[in-house]
Structure 1
Amino acid sequence: MKQRTLLNFSRLFVGILFIFSGLIKANDPLGFGYKLQEYFEVFHIPFLNGIATGIAIFLCVLEVLLGVLLLLGFWGKKVAAGLLGIIVFFTFLTFVSAVFKVVTSCGCFGDAIPLTPWQSFSKDLVLLAFIIYLFRYRAYIEPLFSSLKMQQRTAVFVTIATLIFPLYTYNYLPVMDFLPYKIGADLPGEMRIPPGAMPDQYEIIYHLYNKKTKEKKDMSDKDYLKAKEIWEDPNWEVGKDTESRLIKKGYEPKIKDLVIKDASGTDYTKELMENPYYNLVIVAYNLEDTNQDAISKLNALALNATEQFNIRTVLLTSNSAQDAEAFSKKMKLFTEIFYADAIPLKSMVRANPGVLLLKNGVVIGKWHYHAVPSFDSLSEKYFSK
């Protein structure tokens, strides 16, 4: 009786968690793909970067499918084996991330629930324990209904339905936006540290060396001041290679890495983010891979918006000024071009290119290039009011 209860609980816990994890990542497959690229770089397999999003979508669908099949009890032995293989693999990845600090967030639950590497590893250890139990008693997993045709049809339906979701979010932006640049966000406010907020707290580490005994010792600045017998002893000397160590994390703004500059290096972040009027921001973090047809259409949109409503339009990219200049001439761009790091640009909008409509620093609208409204629609809804 206890074994049956624990088995059912394990199925419920693991199944729901896998479905939740898969759907959260499927909500933002491009973001999950970016995370996979970090792992590819760590393990020196960057040739997979080009198919990272495809792998991300496959893993999302697989997680949801295995979770649903486990809850329904279909093909219990194979599903338990598949779950065990996946959790062993991800436990290894999170362990490497935690120990070697190579990837700061595993992306297990996307940007909805950010976890530290050690939190991710602990979560995987708990899952591993439950899945090992499921694998051990996999023979006792009973299907909800025994018809093989019904099981196959259910599996196909779940696969197709799950596949449609990440394909949609990849082409039309996440359904739920957990990033700091979501619609309604006050970007200048997200970048500021409020008055009175606790800053990061650090301690200074001294590397001490005893000239007489050759002994070496590391001490914090506070401990050093208390150790009268050391700083009064002329044989002890403080090395030049002191280091600063973070002891307590202070307040961190949601947007902390966005710096926008022009080709000469002048900072335009404040001017662009705090523009009190409507302005369009086209984000094309990589001009080499951006959709050029979309860029042409956005260029025409920018021209109309400027001529008829004096709307300022800028293009943000992480490419070099030289490459951007060549691209601008090739595409006959009307927009101003500014430069920022690729990481915040990827967070701004999950598209290359994508568009943000800002007013007084607030994100009024946000679109994938597949879904940018026409000039007439934008005029009627925003510009002409």
Structure 2
Amino acid sequence: MKVIVNISRILVGILFIFSGFIKLNDPVGFSYKLQEYFSAPVLDLPSLIPFALIIAIVIVIFELVLGVMLLIGYAPKFTTWCLLLMIIFFTFLTFYSAYFNKVTDCGCFGDAIPLTPWESFYKDCILFVLILILFFNRKYIEPLFQTAFHKWLIFASFILSFGYSYHVLMHLPVFDFRPYKIGKNITEQMTIPEGAPEAQYEYSWKFKVNGKEQIITNRGAYPQIDGEFIDVETTQVTEGYEPPIHDFIIESPEGTITAEVLEKEKLVLIIAYNLRNSEAEGMEAVKKLSDRALKAGYEVIGLSASGDDLKQKVKEKYNFDFDFYLTDETALKTIIRSNPGILVLNKGTITQKKHWFDAEDIELE
């Protein structure tokens, strides 16, 4: 049993540290996932949405430090109780999401390892068993060091975690696992390769034949049957290939201009998914950068999901010499974890990507 406990201790501790660090690398992204959980269709806790970022930071730091406490064997009773309560809550949450199809990605490992709701639930079930082993056999969890040294290790873990979270909030995630990272070409990321698998659908055709309902199932062809058509139900059997970027569309008053924009050689994109929530200091930094970019021969374009009236007000308030175009809010949140944020593109390839706090570091030719 002691061997089993030590194996469980190592597996759970490492997994909690890894999971916590991945989310700590991108606390803004994790806060978006919490907002999804707090929304009306899921847990219906809209009052918590404004505090999603604070809650996200507290959860991931606690998760990471808890993993450290387990590995070094500090306060086994407190540690195992916390582990048990956390895994009960998250197992319930992932089951609820999976069974009712509420959240398509749990966010357990951020964008590094996307998991479906059921995969996340099965992962939590395995963790639940391992944590139960630890909970009922905590007497076998022996400390690795003296208690005084344990406290310093935990304190250092907390300070380092808090410092790292502050760094990525004021800049950008150190490790970027999204399809919009530096060096990626957006056009290529949107392209479906030749021969890629296509989605397969099953059609259930309902007819009335001789006064009785009859259902014919096939892959799409209209059945040749002598009867009155009633209805048809479509079910997706297998998923087709989905490109890494599939929701990036730029709309102007004249229509879609995505391809045109991605062909430009010297382009600065100002990303502000919600202009109402954009930081004033960030907009002032954007103004300085855009003026500098325009003088250097760059074209500057703003992307936002906000309405036209607000776009115009912001443009006049900060005296911007560029226009904002419409792009989906979720896509903009995925592109960059900053509001506003800055991208420099060369024919669709991302060459630079900065938080507004680092706008002065943008290098222009």
Q: Which one-letter code corresponds to 2:115 in the other structure?
A: L
Task: Give the Cα separation in 2 of the matches to 1:132 and 1:91.
Answer: 13
When residues 217 and 224 of structure 1 are mapped into structure 2, their CA distance, relative to the original with a 3 A threshold, is: farther
Q: Where does structure 2 lack aligned partners over 5 or more consecutive residues?
A: none
Cα offset, 1:224, TM superposition: 9.7
Verify: 1:8 aligned to 2:10, yes or no: no
Task: Give the Cα separation in 2 of the matches to 1:330 and 1:126.
Answer: 54
Corresponding residue number in structure 1 for 2:242: 252
Cα offset, 1:207, TM superposition: 3.4
Q: Which one-letter code corresponds to 2:111 in the other structure?
A: D
SS, match of residue 239 in structure 1: strand
Q: Which one-letter code corresponds to 1:34 in the other structure?
A: Y
Give the aligned CA root-mean-square deviation in angstroms.
1.9
Cα offset, 1:27, TM superposition: 0.6
The CA deviation string for residues 53-97 of structure 1, in whole angstroms up to 9 with x for no partner, is 111111111111111110111101110010000011011111011
For 1:266-285, what aligned pairs fall within 5 Å after superposition? 266-275=255-264, 277-285=265-273
Task: Give the Cα separation in 2 of the matches to 1:289 and 1:222.
Answer: 47
Cα offset, 1:21, TM superposition: 0.2
Cα offset, 1:320, TM superposition: 0.8
Verify: 1:220 aligned to 2:217, yes or no: yes
Task: Give the Cα separation in 2 of the matches to 1:218 and 1:82.
Answer: 53
Structure 1 moving runs of 4+ over 3 Å: 207-213, 216-219, 222-226
Contact 1:106 1:115 in 2 (8 A): yes
Verify: 1:378 aligned to 2:354, yes or no: no
Corresponding residue number in structure 2 for 1:176: 175
TM, length-normalised to structure 2: 0.94
The CA deviation string for residues 185-217 of structure 1, in whole angstroms up to 9 with x for no partner, is 01100011122222212121223456645xx56
Cα offset, 1:144, TM superposition: 1.3
Task: Give the Cα separation in 1 of the matches to 2:360 and 2:351.
Answer: 13
Cα offset, 1:150, TM superposition: 2.4
Task: Give the Cα separation in 1 of the matches to 2:222 and 2:310.
Answer: 54
Q: Which one-letter code corresponds to 1:66 in the other structure?
A: L
Corresponding residue number in structure 2 for 1:154: 153
For 1:71-86, what aligned pairs fall within 5 Å after superposition? 71-86=71-86
TM, length-normalised to structure 1: 0.90
For 1:123-138, what aligned pairs fall within 5 Å after superposition? 123-138=123-138
When residues 142 and 324 of structure 1 are mapped into structure 2, their CA distance, relative to the original with a 3 A threshold, is: same
Cα offset, 1:243, TM superposition: 2.5
Contact 1:80 1:138 in 2 (8 A): yes
Determine which of 331, 350, 353 is the counterpart of 2:318.
331
Contact 1:98 1:118 in 2 (8 A): yes
Q: Where does structure 1 lack aligned partners over 5 or more consecutive residues?
A: none
Verify: 1:363 aligned to 2:350, yes or no: yes
SS, match of residue 360 in structure 2: coil
When residues 219 and 373 of structure 1 are mapped into structure 2, their CA distance, relative to the original with a 3 A threshold, is: farther
Task: Give the Cα separation in 2 of the matches to 1:299 and 1:7.
Answer: 58
Aligned residue pairs total: 363
Task: Give the Cα separation in 2 of the matches to 1:208 and 1:6.
Answer: 60
Corresponding residue number in structure 1 for 2:230: 239
Q: Please tell me whether Structure 1 or Structure 2 has the larger radius of gyration of its CA atoms.
A: 1
Contact 1:188 1:274 in 2 (8 A): no
When residues 121 and 180 of structure 1 are mapped into structure 2, their CA distance, relative to the original with a 3 A threshold, is: same
Task: Give the Cα separation in 1 of the matches to 2:159 and 2:101.
Answer: 37
Determine which of 281, 284, 298 is the counterpart of 1:296.
284
Corresponding residue number in structure 1 for 2:201: 202
Q: Which one-letter code corresponds to 2:198 in the other structure?
A: P
